């Protein structure tokens, strides 16, 4: 059978130039998060199909790479499935292929972490501060810059209900971004309970909240007027829509794009407007998170209360946050509190907050900005004439060993006929010094 | 549906203690191999099923985790497969499930690297020194200490036909092992062409070589006499078996276990005995490899020519090598030259040599020896009383930020009711210093 040279559809081979940046970023991530007391964990790439299909993953559950059963189990499943294949050409009936699979590739790191914690809680500290980096897979439609295998990088604090967890996550993430030379970015913050209180205050029915939020989420694209039109078009009571839009308008000073100059004043205003619809502790907590992060931040960014921030996943229960960067249109990371997911495994609610950075987007931005990995070190090339006698080869290897011990990069290769071309190519790879060894000369 | 707490069969959750060692080893691997001029590469975990099933993987091809086709392609495959399901209860007929899959999880890193090189050769230096670390998957029968997902760590030099490649690989690997505190280990070395010459010299038919080598490979378990009996039992001519055993006996001084005191003398002896059956350049090259490594080595180990070393994979074409450690019965790594694999993709032969370390076994040995990760740094815990006012929380976060900037580990958590127990638990995690912050006290 002919061998295929390209990677499978939608996945990519990573070349040395990008890997250098990835390796550097991975090292910096581990080093930075460690100073905040996070410890690394790893979960298998393969997860039970039951867990992957448990409605925790939203749209991602449609994108699972499923793994075929093996051996007798596969044959038995095939037999059973055959019975479900339509006998007539009835287009409505499709065979039940779900019985062919018992597992799949994880589509995120949050679900496996919840399983991990419920499986190992007795061996873990409480609260538990976890750093998880690893690939995830989604059978998305292939498109530029989006791949079917990509790295995620999550920090989570499990078992801590106090907002110290939110503060720590935001400080850790922003400190890392600062060390990667990112500047002038924004952390937008909101609370799912504020979102709900705003909808309740306006008189929307509780079962329509999620749909209302999907429209609200488009604010940065269609503006306040666009949101209003879409809500009216969807048939919500005009009175509710009016009240809802007025709230946002008041907070944003009518700017219509969620912009506000004084973030704490905006938070205070919304809290006053919502009155009994919102427990005042919730806005006080957001205020403390914002102030504490602003007071201790180690990077050039600002915190912004943004009542239009929704975050897609329905599992969030409290504060939610997102990183916005001017250089990159969308979000380059985000997270929030999800106090109810782990309970789905353990039967016992465990408070949890997480913050995920968009590792691939960050690497892409670093590549585009021609980021130079600091301290890459001196790169030296030894060019050795072919047929070097054994004793002389020993000497060359010993010289190299001594240099490498000092941390220098020494690349030993056989001298080519076109030595000039060989050196030019190596210079492109960053080799600045060349040492030549000939069979008939002493060294 | 009920959620499953355990990982899928044969895979494992990795706890912080082990991850600390893994992270340290990964960092050291990258740092050490980099000084030898290796650059990182990454290939997707998912590979074309055609490539995985191309007979490069030996027994591993039976252990592939296969990925189900998706969407219409799956439905079409199911329809086709249904036609192959036996209509009667004829046990001989089994449905052709291979059409259900288009890809699978890689079972090693060598095959994906060969595909990677053939896909990207124009963008890569020549020779190309690649470091690849990543998980591989094999649906092996689950057993103690062996998992269905495990990390491999390979270095390969592609496009270099000179033995400088073998020397560099062995020096890089042994330097790494030395830095991980391994001592007194052995690198056994042989050459597939010496193996073949010995079989030819003894008069075995060429088509039986692979079977003869499978028996020879058992030398360390069943001894020279055991090998002799098994070969005779398999029906090989007594004369050939006699001659073959005599060869090994001569080289090992009759010790019967492949042991020899003077490795270069043994190499010389075998070369003399084989005469015209072996190109003398082959044994000269092994001699140069052994001497050069011995002369430049940066760790406590010895090189040993071992004519009984076989290495399983049939794709090897030249020198082969393996790491033996007293603490661990089997091999903890190995490799060799495979000059013909890349040609299967490109149609053009490209010389290649690789050395793979048994990452999981090495981590296991470090764990068992209670390895202490050096320079783990001072670990400090801040315990914060619940309900800390916003201004004071800011101050605490600022104090922590300043300490973290210096590289210290600072873990901030909320003070628990049983503070004594909380501290004891944290001490077990290595926290040595505690700072307490109360809402009603100044700090």
The tens digit of pLDDT for each residue in B391-416 reads: 999 999 999 999 999 989 999 999 99
Read off the pLDDT band of A374 (50, 70, 90): confident
Mean pLDDT of all residues in chain A?
91
Count contacts between A and B (CB, < 8 Å): 326
The string of pLDDT tens digits covering residues B237-296 is 999 999 999 999 988 764 444 444 588 899 999 999 999 999 999 999 999 999 999 999
| Mean pLDDT calculated for residue range A179-185 | 93
Distance (Å, rounded) from C-alpha A69 to C-alpha A306?
47
| Mean pLDDT calculated for residue range B19-41 | 96
Residues of A with Cβ-Cβ distance to B391 under 8 angstroms? 291
The string of pLDDT tens digits covering residues B146-186 is 899 999 999 999 999 999 999 999 999 999 999 999 999 99
Read off the pLDDT band of B374 (50, 70, 90): confident
**Which residues 6+ apart lie within 8 Å of B362 measured at CB?**
B25, B177, B180, B182, B332, B333
Concatenating the DSSP letter of every residue in B31-91 gives: HHHHHTT-EE-B--SEEEHHHHTSSSSGGGGGG--EEEP-HHHHHHHHHHHHHHS-SS--T
CA A329 to chain centre: 16
Q: How far is CA B402 from CA A108, A297, B376, in A?
A: 33, 10, 19
Give how far B107 is from chain A: nearest CA, Å.
14
Concatenating the DSSP letter of every residue in B84-116 gives: HS-SS--TT----GGGGEEEEE-S-SHHHHHHH
- Residue A349 is predicted with a pLDDT of 86
Cβ–Cβ of A409/B14 closer than 8 Å? Answer: no
CA B173 to chain centre: 11
Cβ–Cβ of A8/B54 closer than 8 Å? Answer: no
- Residue B259 is predicted with a pLDDT of 47
CA B380 to chain centre: 37
Q: Which of A51, A67, A77, A437 to mutate to test the interface with B (most CBs of B within 10 A)?
A: A67
Least-confidence region, from A204-208, B275-279, B313-317: B313-317
Residues A52, A55, A60, A61: is their CA dihedral positive or negative?
A: positive
Q: Is pLDDT larger for residue B202 or for residue B344? A: B202
Distance (Å, rounded) from C-alpha B345 to C-alpha B373?
42
Cβ–Cβ of B127/A44 closer than 8 Å? Answer: no
pLDDT > 70: percent of chain B: 95
- Residue A386 is predicted with a pLDDT of 93
User: Phi, psi (5° rounding) for residue B262?
Assistant: -110, 100
Cβ–Cβ of B45/A47 closer than 8 Å? Answer: no
Chain A residue with the nearest C-alpha to that of B393: A292
Chain A residue with the nearest C-alpha to that of B178: A405
Give how far B189 is from chain A: nearest CA, Å.
17
- Residue A262 is predicted with a pLDDT of 83
- Residue A214 is predicted with a pLDDT of 92
Axis-axis angle for helices B219-233, B238-251 (nearest 10): 160
- The answer, yes or no, to whether residue B93 has pLDDT greater than 70, is no
Residues A149/B44, Cβ–Cβ less than 8 Å: yes
What DSSP character marks residue A369? T
Cβ–Cβ of A51/B115 closer than 8 Å? Answer: no
- The answer, yes or no, to whether residue B327 has pLDDT greater than 50, is yes
Q: How many CB atoms lie within 10 A of CB B30?
A: 18
Give how far B169 is from chain A: nearest CA, Å.
11
Q: Which two tokens stand for residue A121?
A: 């809680």
**Which residues 6+ apart lie within 8 Å of B151 measured at CB?**
B22, B133, B134, B135, B136, B359, B360
| Mean pLDDT calculated for residue range A167-183 | 96
Cβ–Cβ of A50/B4 closer than 8 Å? Answer: yes
- The answer, yes or no, to whether residue B88 has pLDDT greater than 90, is no
Give how far B198 is from chain A: nearest CA, Å.
25
Cβ–Cβ of B43/A139 closer than 8 Å? Answer: no
| Mean pLDDT calculated for residue range B359-381 | 89
Give how far B347 is from chain A: nearest CA, Å.
10
What DSSP character marks residue A387? T
Distance (Å, rounded) from C-alpha B288 to C-alpha A391?
8
A370 conformational bin, left if phi > 0, alpha if psi -120 to 50, beta if neither: left
- Residue B328 is predicted with a pLDDT of 75
Concatenating the DSSP letter of every residue in B117-183 gives: HHHHGGGS-SSEEEEEEEEEE--PPPBTTB-SEEEEEEEEEES--STHHHHHHHHHHHHHHHHTT--
Cβ–Cβ of B401/A175 closer than 8 Å? Answer: yes
The string of pLDDT tens digits covering residues A333-348 is 999 999 998 888 778 8
Chain B residue with the nearest C-alpha to that of A427: B125
| Mean pLDDT calculated for residue range A389-401 | 94
Distance (Å, rounded) from C-alpha A397 to C-alpha A402?
9
Give how far B44 is from chain A: nearest CA, Å.
6
- The answer, yes or no, to whether residue B382 has pLDDT greater than 60, is yes
* Measured distance between the N- and C-terminal CA atoms of chain B, rounded to whole angstroms: 51
Of A162, A293, A411, nearest to B386 by CB-CB distance is A162
Read off the pLDDT band of B313 (50, 70, 90): confident
- The answer, yes or no, to whether residue A200 has pLDDT greater than 50, is yes
A192 conformational bin, left if phi > 0, alpha if psi -120 to 50, beta if neither: alpha
Distance (Å, rounded) from C-alpha A303 to C-alpha A290?
6
Read off the pLDDT band of A58 (50, 70, 90): confident
- The answer, yes or no, to whether residue A155 has pLDDT greater than 90, is yes
- The answer, yes or no, to whether residue B224 has pLDDT greater than 80, is yes
SS3 content of chain B, % helix, strand, coil (to 5): 45, 20, 35
- The answer, yes or no, to whether residue A208 has pLDDT greater than 50, is yes
Give how far B265 is from chain A: nearest CA, Å.
16
Read off the pLDDT band of A81 (50, 70, 90): confident
Cβ–Cβ of A393/B44 closer than 8 Å? Answer: no
- Residue A45 is predicted with a pLDDT of 98
Chain A residue with the nearest C-alpha to that of B424: A125
Give how far A39 is from chain B: nearest CA, Å.
6
Of B15, B379, B386, nearest to A123 by CB-CB distance is B15
Helix or strand or coil: residue A255? coil
Q: Which of A10, A18, A37, A104 to mutate to test the interface with B (most CBs of B within 10 A)?
A: A37
Annotate B9-27 with b (16+ C-beta within 10 A) or e (fewer). Answer: ebbbbbbbebbbbbbbbbb
The string of pLDDT tens digits covering residues B295-306 is 999 899 999 999
- The answer, yes or no, to whether residue B70 has pLDDT greater than 90, is yes
Q: Would the pTM of this model clear 0.90, i.e. be above it?
A: yes
Residues A187/A321, Cβ–Cβ less than 8 Å: yes
Cβ–Cβ of B68/A100 closer than 8 Å? Answer: yes
pLDDT > 70: percent of chain A: 95
Read off the pLDDT band of A93 (50, 70, 90): low
Q: Measured at the alpha carbon of residue A310, what is the angle toward residues A305 and A315, in degrees to the nearest 5?
A: 120
- The answer, yes or no, to whether residue A431 has pLDDT greater than 70, is yes
Alpha-helix residue ranges (DSSP H) falling in A252-340: 263-274, 280-296
Cβ–Cβ of A175/B22 closer than 8 Å? Answer: no
Residues A73/A102, Cβ–Cβ less than 8 Å: yes
| Mean pLDDT calculated for residue range A51-72 | 89
Output the furthest CA–CA distance in chain A (Å, rounded). Answer: 94
Distance (Å, rounded) from C-alpha A172 to C-alpha A177?
9
- Residue A171 is predicted with a pLDDT of 97
Distance (Å, rounded) from C-alpha B279 to C-alpha B277?
7
User: Phi, psi (5° rounding) for residue B117?
Assistant: -65, -40
Helix or strand or coil: residue B278? coil
| Mean pLDDT calculated for residue range B125-154 | 93
| Mean pLDDT calculated for residue range A196-223 | 93
Cβ–Cβ of A394/B82 closer than 8 Å? Answer: no
Distance (Å, rounded) from C-alpha B188 to C-alpha B306?
6
Cβ–Cβ of B296/A36 closer than 8 Å? Answer: no
- The answer, yes or no, to whether residue A192 has pLDDT greater than 60, is yes
Read off the pLDDT band of B346 (50, 70, 90): confident
Least-confidence region, from A39-43, A420-424, B376-380: B376-380
Distance (Å, rounded) from C-alpha B254 to C-alpha B279?
25
Alpha-helix residue ranges (DSSP H) falling in B252-320: 263-274, 280-296
Read off the pLDDT band of A87 (50, 70, 90): low
- Residue A285 is predicted with a pLDDT of 95
Distance (Å, rounded) from C-alpha B381 to C-alpha B378?
10
Chain B residue with the nearest C-alpha to that of A101: B68
Cβ–Cβ of A67/B70 closer than 8 Å? Answer: no
Cβ–Cβ of A15/B41 closer than 8 Å? Answer: yes
Residues of A with Cβ-Cβ distance to B395 under 8 angstroms? 295
Of A8, A295, A384, nearest to B164 by CB-CB distance is A384
Round the CA-based radius of gyration of chain B to a whole number and report it.
28
Give how far A105 is from chain B: nearest CA, Å.
9
Torsion of CA B336, B337, B341, B347, to 10 degrees: 170
Round the CA-based radius of gyration of chain A to a whole number and report it.
28
Residues of A with Cβ-Cβ distance to B36 under 8 angstroms? 404, 409-411
Chain B residue with the nearest C-alpha to that of A10: B44
Of A40, A79, A292, nearest to B23 by CB-CB distance is A40
User: Phi, psi (5° rounding) for residue B95?
Assistant: -65, 150
Which run of H or E residues covers position A321? strand A319-325
Cβ–Cβ of A13/B395 closer than 8 Å? Answer: no
| Mean pLDDT calculated for residue range A86-95 | 60
Q: Measured at the alpha carbon of residue A368, what is the angle toward residues A367 and A371, in degrees to the nearest 5?
A: 50
Distance (Å, rounded) from C-alpha B66 to C-alpha B48?
10
Distance (Å, rounded) from C-alpha A232 to C-alpha B440?
52
- The answer, yes or no, to whether residue B28 has pLDDT greater than 60, is yes
Cβ–Cβ of A7/B292 closer than 8 Å? Answer: no
Residues of A with Cβ-Cβ distance to B65 under 8 angstroms? 46, 67-68, 70
| Mean pLDDT calculated for residue range A192-206 | 96
Cβ–Cβ of B175/A401 closer than 8 Å? Answer: yes
Number of DSSP helices (H) and strands (E) in chain A, helices first? 15, 14
Chain B residue with the nearest C-alpha to that of A99: B68
Strands A379-384, A409-414: parallel, antiparallel or unpaired by DSSP?
A: parallel
Chain B residue with the nearest C-alpha to that of A294: B394
């Amino acid at each position: 059978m002919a061998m295929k040279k390209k990677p499978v559809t939608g996945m990519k081979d990573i070349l040395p130039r990008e890997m250098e940046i990835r390796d550097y970023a991975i090292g910096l991530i581990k080093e930075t998060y460690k100073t905040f007391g996070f410890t690394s964990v790893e979960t298998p790439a393969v997860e039970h199909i039951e867990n992957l299909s448990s409605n925790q993953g939203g749209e991602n559950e449609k994108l699972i790479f499923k793994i075929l059963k093996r051996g007798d189990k596969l044959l038995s499943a095939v037999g059973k499935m055959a019975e479900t294949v339509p006998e007539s050409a009835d287009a409505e009936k499709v065979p039940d292929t779900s019985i062919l699979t018992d597992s799949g590739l994880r589509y995120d790191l949050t679900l496996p972490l919840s399983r991990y914690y419920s499986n190992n809680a007795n061996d873990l500290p409480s609260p538990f501060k976890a750093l998880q980096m690893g690939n995830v897979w989604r059978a998305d439609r292939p498109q530029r810059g989006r791949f079917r295998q990509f790295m995620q990088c999550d920090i989570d604090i499990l078992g801590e209900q106090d907002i110290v967890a939110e503060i720590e996550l935001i400080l850790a993430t922003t400190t890392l971004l600062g060390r990667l030379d990112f500047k002038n970015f924004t952390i937008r913050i909101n609370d799912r309970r504020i979102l709900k209180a705003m909808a309740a205050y306006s008189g929307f029915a509780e079962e329509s909240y999620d749909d209302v939020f999907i429209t609200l989420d488009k604010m940065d694209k269609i503006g306040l007027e666009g949101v209003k039109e879409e809500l009216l078009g969807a048939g919500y009571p005009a009175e509710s829509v009016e009240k809802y839009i007025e709230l946002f308008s008041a907070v944003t000073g009518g700017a219509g794009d969620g912009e506000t100059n004084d973030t704490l004043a905006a938070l205070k205003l919304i809290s006053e407007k919502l009155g009994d619809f919102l427990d005042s502790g919730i806005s006080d907590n957001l205020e403390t998170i914002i102030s504490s992060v602003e007071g201790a931040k180690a990077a050039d960014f600002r915190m912004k209360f943004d009542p239009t921030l929704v975050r897609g996943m329905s599992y969030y229960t409290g504060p939610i946050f997102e990183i916005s960067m001017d250089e990159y249109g969308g979000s380059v990371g985000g997270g929030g509190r999800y106090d109810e997911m782990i309970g789905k495994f353990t039967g016992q609610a465990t408070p949890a907050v997480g913050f995920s950075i968009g590792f691939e987007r960050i690497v892409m931005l670093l590549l585009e900005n021609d980021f130079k990995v600091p301290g890459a070190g001196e790169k030296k090339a030894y060019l050795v004439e072919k047929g070097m006698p054994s004793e002389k080869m020993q000497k060359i290897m010993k010289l190299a060993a001594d240099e490498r011990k000092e941390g220098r990069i020494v690349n030993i290769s056989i001298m080519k006929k076109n030595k000039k071309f060989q050196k030019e190519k190596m210079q492109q790879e960053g080799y600045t010094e060349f040492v030549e060894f000939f069979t008939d000369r002493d060294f």
